Amino acid sequence: MKRAGEARAERFLKACRREEADCTPIWIMRQAGRYLPEYRELRRKYSMLEMAKTPDLVTRVTLLPVERFDLDAAILFSDIMIPLGGMGVSFRIEENVGPIVEEPIRTGAQVSALKEFEAARDVPFVLQAIRQLRIELGKLPLIGFAGAPFTLASYLIEGRAPRNLALTKTLMLEGGGLWDDLMGRLADTAIAYLKAQVEAGAQALQLFDSWAGSLSPAHYSRFVLPHTRRVFQALQGAGIPLIHFGTDTATLLEQMAEAGPDVVGVDWRVPIDEAWDRIGHELGIQGNLDPAVLFAPWESVEREALDVLNRAGGRRGHIFNLGHGILPDTPVENVERLVELVHRSTRKIPS
Ligand code: CP3
């Protein structure tokens, strides 16, 4: 790993704390993914889950994008489903589909049968990879992550990437305690998993609530927010930045901020300046270029990225990212130019 310069190593964490950095930091969700030829090469030999369970491969894949581009943080190569194995859930990950749960959860008995997650026992490979990465990355920060209770619950109940979440919402609205029991257990898992990642060396954490945007504000506040808030509250003492991300959350931004993160991640469906006004400028904001823009000719990519930067207005606390994960087949050259553009066009002239 080439040594990260002091400025590169600091700007992501500074922005998360809303301190002045030398320029706007950038990292990219799913930055270690299929658009990278080296990743595709490894995937010919190993499945996604094999890679995620082998510390040396996790380390290698996590490093790929930060070695290739001037990204300002690394994110652990893993998946939100990984800790569920420790709870006794069998699943596989299918290419172009995502996680498939062998026996979706539909009954109270299945919820009661879930085991308590224990990081050292259930995911030693993740903790080992984090320790290795801290050595390899030098001063460049490592982001750990977990799935938020609602997004994990929706995978567990639907059994696969949810379309309309009818089953999930049925269990949610049914009453009778099953929902809160399941969400409580998933919050416990997220807390234990994230705490273990911090102990192993993660320097920032992102909680992914990818499907939260499918809920009405009333349902979010009643059935999801208390559980997510408990996760953030349990981690606030860890002393590292906490990022709360979801998609399609334009109607939920105030509540996502209320859950207790330091930074809110937003997708492209809401202008970032409007989102920031709504969550309040005492929080940082992450986002929000539409990942599809990266397929356009460079001039369009540049115009769209500058629009995000202009809306963020060079204020302390903006972390540039895509609004959701980078898509397979994204032209690598546009990624490289985007990273360079974000840094160059926001660089502060030293006084
Ligand atoms: O961001 C990163 O680079 C870190 C690694 C990471 C992966 N998944 C790797 C992965 C992270 C942070 C995730 C989180 C994740 N996983 C989320 C939340 C973020 C989001 O995108 O909303 C969700 C919903 C999942 C579930 C999941 N796992 C999906 C939707 C998919 C993609 C299915 C597909 O093939 O398009 C996966 C598989 C997965 N996770 C891949 C990667 C690189 C692709 C695996 C492959 O086939 O090589």
Give the position, in ligand 1's atom list, of the atom nearest the Cα of 76.
4
Measured CA to CA, the distance from residue 97 to residue 14 in angstroms comes to 36
Span from the CA of 350 to the centroid of ligand 1 (angstroms): 39
* Range 88-111 average pLDDT: 96
Using DSSP, state whether 251 is helix, strand or coil.
coil
Higher model confidence: residue 175 or residue 327? 327
pLDDT at 2: 55
pLDDT at 116: 98
pLDDT at 351: 55
Our answer on whether the CB atom of 31 is closer than 6 Å to any ligand 1 atom is yes
What is the residue-averaged pLDDT of the chain? 96
Q: Could you tell me the residue ranges of all domains in the chain?
A: 6-346
pLDDT tens digits, 165-220: 999 999 999 988 999 999 999 999 999 999 999 999 999 999 999 999 999 999 99
* Range 24-33 average pLDDT: 97
For residue 255, what pLDDT band results from cuts at 50, 70 and 90?
A: very high
CA distances from 238 to 23, 43, 78 (A): 26, 35, 21
pLDDT at 176: 84
* Range 75-79 average pLDDT: 98
Q: Looking up tokens 């980078």, which residue turns up?
A: 326
- For residue 50, pLDDT over 90 is answered with yes
pLDDT at 6: 87
- For residue 1, pLDDT over 70 is answered with no
Q: Looking up tokens 């996502």, which residue turns up?
A: 256
The number of CA neighbours under 13 Å toward the Cβ of 175 is: 0
pLDDT tens digits, 120-179: 999 999 999 999 999 999 999 999 999 999 999 999 999 998 889 999 999 999 988 999
- For residue 327, pLDDT over 80 is answered with yes
Span from the CA of 77 to the centroid of ligand 1 (angstroms): 9
**Shortest-distance Cα residue to atom 2 of ligand 1:** 30
Cβ-based burial of 315 (10 A; exposed 0-12, middle 13-18, buried ≥19):
middle
Measured CA to CA, the distance from residue 265 to residue 257 in angstroms comes to 10
* Range 292-315 average pLDDT: 98
pLDDT at 349: 76
Which are the catalytic amino acids? 30, 34, 43, 79, 155
Using DSSP, state whether 232 is helix, strand or coil.
helix
Span from the CA of 186 to the centroid of ligand 1 (angstroms): 19
Answer whether 0.95 is exceeded by the pTM. yes
Our answer on whether the CB atom of 96 is closer than 6 Å to any ligand 1 atom is yes
Measured CA to CA, the distance from residue 164 to residue 272 in angstroms comes to 27
* Range 21-32 average pLDDT: 97
**Level-2 CATH architecture, domain 6-346:** Alpha-Beta Barrel (3.20)
